[in-house]
Amino acid sequence: MSTGTWPSGPPLLQARGLTVRFGKVTALDGLELTAPVGRVLAILGPNGAGKTTFVRTVATLVRPASGELLVYGRDVAADPGSVRRDIGLAGQFAAVEPTMTGRENLEMTARLFGHGAGAARRAAAAVIDQLSLAEVVDRRASTYSGGQRRRLDLGASLVGGPRLLLLDEPTTGLDPVSRREVWDAVRTLAAAGTDILLTTHYLDEADELADEVVVIDHGRVVAAGLLGDLKAGVGRDVIEVSVADPATVSLAGRILEQVTLNPARLEPGGRRASSAAPGGADELSEVIAGLRAASIAVDEIGLRRPTLDEVFLALTTEAATTSVAVPSTTGGIHTNGGT
Amino acid sequence: MTTPQLTLPQALGRPARPARVTTASGQIALRALRKYLRTPSLCVMAVVQSAMFLFSFRYVFGGAIHAGATSYVEFLVPSYVATIVLFTGGGVAVAVAEDKTAGFTDRLLSLPVSRYSLVLGRTIADSLTNLWSILTTAAFGFAFGFRLPGSWPDGLAALGLCAAYAVVFTVVFVVMGLFAPNAQAAQGMSLIAFVFAFISSAYVPATSMPGWLQPFSKYQPITPMVDAVRSLLTGGSSDVGLALAWSALLVAVFTPVAVVRYRRA
């Protein structure tokens, strides 16, 4: 947890006992997190977990009730002005002025960042080029598609040349094509050296964009690390069987439960049954033997890695009882003293 | 000609220092003005609404209201112009609340701009739009038969006082918008201004109200404010000091509330 392990200056984020309350609601509950610079960090969690509150706290919009949060070593509560000069925020809603053109929006935000008129024009032009907005930039933002609006909003958060870009659910409500557009833009920025902190409840989005993920639930970090490590650490292998006759699927499920001692998930009205299998291949052969003994015809059976949804579910339900920190083999992220 | 390189915003570098308060306020005001001018339902409807109300007072209710020695149009128009912002200014509260729910305020607050410039920019823009309301309303007043009782300089002094009120009311409506959870609530909250506008000496002589209502009319700010405008029109200056004192008090109370509220919007 010491800053000494970071050779190139202070870490991106350091949260110690970070607590944020809204009236009686505790949104962040003693959150601990240290994240290095130079990575795309995704904050995952169910609705109401505290993801947005965390981003708003980093963006100096919310003051911690206790604990502290340092962004590049600067305290958000004590020195919000310095933090604001390092960040660009693209919130859940595209915060652009619909009656102004894309260019007017970008130049206005650049001026507010502190650029002079000429520099603001150049910054806007650079962003237009980078985010492929040239075709629409001289139209009013009210005429934009959802994806174009979101890219313009992203551009507005970039005109000040921030070191850290904060994206709160950047693709919520977008169609698949627009999602791709935003993802491409984020990847370009990350490749160009911008640190990125994004929240999402789409696991595939984290998979697409993030180097590291932090799973938050009930205002605390429940797991953090590389996505692959999380899958390996939490998600046990899964046995999935597809039976020939739908009438036999519940019997197949019972056989799965007997072998793996885990609850089986049955595809409603379908032919698939699955269950977590901590014993791996040994349990698979036991299940195959059991199915054969019961004379159940099988179309397909196999052992597979858990899906992200299954990992996520496992993490956030375990978190309800105990806080687990998944060991990170990369030494990237440190949380709640678990590493 | 070389191909442009390093087009990333990072390559342009970060500004050496945050925007000055004047620059930031100017940008914020410019955006609010553009929104107003480019939204016909805002800039045109405000004028239409103001003219319709004035028409109704002047020609519908006016005949039934006795304003003492002067004609009703002489009585009504100065105070109507002075208080028009109480009717049209609800749009300010709505706009401020919309900015908050649409994430625009969050964007502004995440930028390295002084919190004062948020209030200042907003107030400059909305004072100008409210000034537009005042000027068009005054023009309608003349069209509907109002004539200056005194000299032109007296008339301009009265108009100037109305403009000062526009600034005062703007700050009040900004605060309403900041406290409202959404645009609909802001619209509802702004109706409270009607209470002060109607229970005053603005549209009827206060002495025509029932006795229990008269103290409210007498001791709330709108009555001395409109009385001051009337007296300036006839070359007098009674109530002007009291009206300015009320104006200063309202600005002094509501401005810090707006700045503090913006911090935690």
Write out pLDDT tens, residues A144-201: 988 889 889 999 999 998 999 999 998 888 888 888 888 888 898 888 888 999 998 7
Q: Where are the alpha helices (DSSP H) in chain A?
A: 51-58, 80-86, 102-113, 117-130, 146-156, 176-191, 203-209, 227-234, 249-260, 281-293, 308-321
Identity of the residue numbered B13: G
Q: Hey, is B51 helix, strand or coil?
A: helix
Q: What is the pLDDT of residue B264?
A: 67
How many CB atoms are closer than 10 A to CB A18? 28
B112 → chain A, closest CA residue = A84
User: What percentage of chain B exceeds 90 in pLDDT?
Assistant: 74
Give the Cα separation of A165 and B8 in Å (integer).
14
Lowest mean pLDDT among A194-198, A249-253, B101-105: A249-253
pLDDT tops 50 at residue A107: yes
Q: What is the ipTM of this complex?
A: 0.87
Per-residue model confidence as pLDDT tens digits over A201-210: 787 888 889 9
Q: Which long-range contacts (CB under 8 A, 24 or more apart) does B229-233 make?
A: B229/B78, B229/B79, B229/B81, B229/B82, B229/B158, B229/B161, B229/B162, B230/B75, B230/B78, B230/B79, B230/B158, B232/B154, B232/B157, B232/B158, B232/B161, B233/B78, B233/B148, B233/B149, B233/B150, B233/B154, B233/B155, B233/B158
B101 → chain A, closest CA residue = A93
CB distance from A197 to chain B under 8 Å? Answer: no
Q: What is the pLDDT of residue B96?
A: 94
Q: Is B28 within 8 Å of A112 when comparing Cβ atoms? A: yes
pLDDT tops 90 at residue B94: yes
CB distance from A192 to chain B under 8 Å? Answer: yes
User: What percentage of chain B exceeds 70 in pLDDT?
Assistant: 94
pTM metric for this prediction: 0.80
What's the start-to-end Cα distance of chain A, in Å? 9
Domains of chain A with CATH codes: 35-62+81-232 (3.40.50.300), 236-304 (3.30.70)
Q: Is A113 within 8 Å of B27 when comparing Cβ atoms? A: no
Per-residue model confidence as pLDDT tens digits over A15-26: 999 999 998 999
Of the pLDDT bands very low, low, confident and very high (cuts 50, 70, 90), residue A116 is very high
Q: What is the pLDDT of residue B8?
A: 56
What's the start-to-end Cα distance of chain B, in Å? 49
pLDDT tops 70 at residue A334: no
Q: What is the pLDDT of residue A247?
A: 81
Give the Cα separation of B106 and A179 in Å (integer).
23
CB distance from A115 to chain B under 8 Å? Answer: yes
Helix pair B115-143, B40-55: axis angle to 10 deg: 40
pLDDT mean across residues, chain B? 90
